[in-house]
Structure 1
Amino acid sequence: MDLLFEAVEEDRPGAKWRRLFDRHWHAYSRWFMRDGIRARPTYLASLKAMRAHMPELLPAYEAIVSAAGDGDLEARFLSMWCPPVYVGGCSQAIITGPEPALIRNYDYSPRLLEGSWLATRLNGKRVVAVVDCLWGVLDGINEDGLAVSLSFGGRTAAGAGFGIPIVLRYMLEFASNTAEAIEMLRRIPVHMSYSVAMVDRAGRHATVYVNPDRPAEVAAKLVSTNHQHGVEWARHAQTTKSVEREAALEKALAAHQNTESVLAGFLRPPVYQTSYGRGYGTLYTALYRPQEASVELVWPGVIWRQSCAEFREEARFIRFNDGDSDGFAPTFKHGAVS
């Protein structure tokens, strides 16, 4: 299958964002209503949660709902308040020193990746992010040099809270450094367990464990995969090689503080995973450089660089083997989008 990655620059949601919405809404609406519409919070409950926990984001939320057509279902979905549960993978590592960096692998099914790379100014600040749920953030950076990314925390607990991508959006829109971002994670409820990695322009960094059933915790970790203090969901950890990936990255960090050397470890097994036909593999590697407010999406042999200062609209495709594809790397090719 060909997986489309599209870089789109639009300060406020308009015709370009609406085109992305039209492309993905059918799939997202089916997912959002998979347990029945009564299982999802009402629009008023979603709006109340947004006002209570992320009031500064309300104008941007209203603008994005308007661009989507002001429908009730669309508004409930775009709030990301108590969405359906979902499970992913991912590996993350923070590089300290004079040139701090954040590197992550996003591991998921090729069929379920949105593939939108957005440069926006929803609240006046340039934010460049790979998005999920049409405006939430999987990983990203802002013009202040704050870089953030997420990985699933490896727990089955679920509760009343926001989907983590909208929380990362909020962080990049309104936090300028790691300390401010941590305080946001301490007070905003999340609906599932995640490990959030972050580093700012000054090199201040943190890995924060967020959960629906216990307070956010700043962990003294530079590496995070799909468990927190220890493995709690053994089957998931075994399937995704969470412990093996963590050990490999910790070894790479201990041996090298050079960003390129650590990056190379993200592009090799067990960290780089290729079970695409079984619905699980590395879809991209992202390298964030806070001092430059820049980001590179990386595949073996391919680097696609953007920054907050210079962002170029472009479409590229990654071809994944549609089968039991252990041992097959994706094939990169340029392509136009109609």
Structure 2
Amino acid sequence: MGERRKTFRAIEVADGTDGRWASYARSRWPAADGWLNEDGRTADGAKRARELFETHMPELVPVLDRLAGQLHRPGGAVFLTHAALRPFFSGCTQTAGQGALLRNYDFGPDDCEGTIVSSRFLRPVIGMQEAGWGLLDGMNDAGLAVSLTFGGRTVHGPGFAVLIVLRYLLETCDTVDQAVRRLRTIPVNVPQNITLVDPEQAVTLYVGPDIPMTVAPESCAANHQQAPVPQEQERFSRTQERLAAIRMSGVHDVAAMLRPPLYQFEYDEGLGTLYTARYQPAEGRVTYYWPGEHWEQSFDAFTTDSRTVTIGGGH
């Protein structure tokens, strides 16, 4: 339960043509290369990944090519499709409503990129980046925000890492309804819970390689897609306890996110809370919170900087 320090940074990459994105992405190698699965390291696997991307995310193909052309790294193009990445399993709790989205991201401190990115690939987007240009959560200039939590089942199948799916939804959709329609046809490789909010509505969706997209009973999620949760899983993740807590606290209670049971300390197991984010997408504003500290970013006033913060303390 001891305190730890982690550095978060904020970068502006515009449309990806001026070298800022490429310079940062290249600095992430060889760690980024470790995301590729074995199939993605073969010519046939790379071809399948490209075809899947062209089929399901055609609007982003020019951006993919623009970014991949600057990487100058073997496997860079297939890595950016996110259609040949190894699965990852995390924690997280999130809720949305009244035009806002509130979430805790729980993962291993050394395995989270911790980079807030402002981009204009197809449109203005701000979000917490992972794996090159994927997103853990984010918002766009139309007032749409989205975030993810792991769905709780360790099955894996063909499809995209959810990180690029969140990027795609924000780049191409204005509303929750548009995002829901697009998401119905996109294969996702691991069970995930995706929460969306715009000024009019909020929804959580269950997706995965072994289930059809399903609308959750309410616009909040922890790390399960069906109840009851097996006792062993609940002891490890406390997913039902956290869902009950966030249901009671609601989208305005940041303080509840910074204390147990929503704030988690299991960093060695990859389940410690790394940051809290509160998106107010209609205002173009997001605030990231840590114990005793916060950092606001917006489309009107995005600040490039870095901050080293305390996690796992102050309770």
Corresponding residue for 1:47?
Answer: 50
Query: In the alignment, does 2:229 pair up with 1:226?
Result: no
Which of these residues, 25, 31, 47, is aligned with residue 27 of structure 1?
31
Match of 1:77 in 2: 79
Report the CA distance between 1:240 and its aligned residue: 1.9
User: Is 2:69 the counterpart of 1:66?
Assistant: yes
Q: 1:45-87 deviations in whole A, cap 9, x for unaligned?
A: 1111111111001011111111212x44111111100321211
Match of 1:310 among 296, 301, 304: 301
| Structure 1 CA distance for aligned equivalents of residues 50 and 230 of structure 2 | 33
CA contact (8 A) 2:36 2:79 kept: yes
Shift of residue 157, structure 1, vs aligned partner: 2.0
The residue aligned with 1:167 is 165
Secondary structure, aligned partner of 2:31:
helix
Query: Using a 3 Å threshold, how does the CA distance of structure 1 residues 3 and 306 change in structure 2: closer, same or farther?
Result: same
8 Å Cα contact 1:155/1:233 also seen in 2: no
Other-structure match for 1:238: 235
Superposition pairs of residues 275-286 of structure 1, within 5 angstroms: 275-286=266-277
Which residue in 2 is equivalent to 1:214? 211
Instruction: Tell me, in whole angstroms, the C-alpha distance in 2 between the residues paired with 1:84 and 1:236.
Output: 22
Contact 1:41/1:82 (8 A) holds in 2:
no
Correspondence for 1:122: 121
**The residue matched to 1:118 in structure 2 has which SS?**
strand
Note closer, same or farther for the CA distance 1:151–1:278 as it changes in structure 2 (3 Å cut): closer
Q: How many residues align?
A: 311
Question: What residue is the counterpart of 2:145 in the other structure?
Answer: 147
Structure 1 contact 110–283 (Cα < 8 Å) conserved? yes
Matched, 1:105 2:90: no
Could you tell me which residue of structure 2 aligns to residue 7 of structure 1? 10
Contact map agreement 2:119 2:125 (CA 8 A) in 1 = yes
Q: Distance in 1 between matches of 2:267 and 2:43?
A: 30
* Distance in 1 (alpha carbons) for counterparts of 2:60 and 2:35: 24
Q: Partners in 1 of 2:150 and 2:277 — Cα distance?
A: 16
2-side partners of 1:279 and 1:215: how far apart?
A: 28
- In structure 1, C-alpha distance between the alignment counterparts of 2:241 and 2:108, rounded to whole Å: 20
Find out whether 1:252 has 2:238 as its counterpart.
Answer: no
Task: After TM superposition, list the pairs within 5 Å mapping 1:170-189 onto structure 2.
Answer: 170-189=168-187
Asked if the contact 1:156/1:233 (under 8 Å) is kept, the reply is: no
Q: Contact 2:41/2:75 (CA < 8 Å) preserved in 1?
A: no
| TM norm structure 2 | 0.92
For 1:23 and 1:117, locate their aligned partners in 2 and report how far apart those are by CA, in whole Å. Answer: 16
Counterpart of 2:94 in structure 1 is 92
1:302-323 Cα deviation digits (max 9, x unpaired): 1111112221111111245xxx
Separation in structure 1 between the aligned mates of residue 292 and residue 282 of structure 2, nearest angstrom: 24
Q: The residue matched to 1:184 in structure 2 has which SS?
A: helix
1:132 aligns with 2:142: no
Contact kept in structure 2, 1:119 and 1:129, CA below 8 Å: yes
Q: Identity across aligned pairs (percent)?
A: 35
Distance 1:2 1:304 in 2: 16
Question: What displacement does 1:160 show?
Answer: 0.8
- Which letter does structure 2 place at the counterpart of 1:179? D
What is the CA deviation profile of residues 198-217 of structure 1, one whole-angstrom value per residue up to 9, with x for unaligned ones?
Answer: 101x2311101111112111
- Kept in 2, the 8 Å contact 1:43–1:72? The answer is no
Q: Is residue 318–residue 330 contact of structure 1 (8 Å, CA) maintained in 2?
A: no
Structure with higher RCO (Cα < 8 A, 6+ apart): 2
Distance 1:231 1:39 in 2: 41
Deviation at 1:329, TM superposition (A): 1.3
Structure 2: state its 5+ residue gaps. Answer: none
Q: Counterpart of 2:203 in 1: which secondary structure?
A: strand
Superposed CA offset, 1:137-179 (max 9, x none): 1000001110000000011221110000101000000100000
Superposed displacement of residue 3, structure 1: 2.1
- The 2-side partners of 1:222 and 1:144 are apart by 20
Q: Deviations over 1:92-120 (max 9, x none)?
A: 01133xxx210000000001010111101
Q: CA deviation at 1:36?
A: 7.4
- Taking the aligned partners of 1:103 and 1:251, their CA distance within structure 2 comes to 13
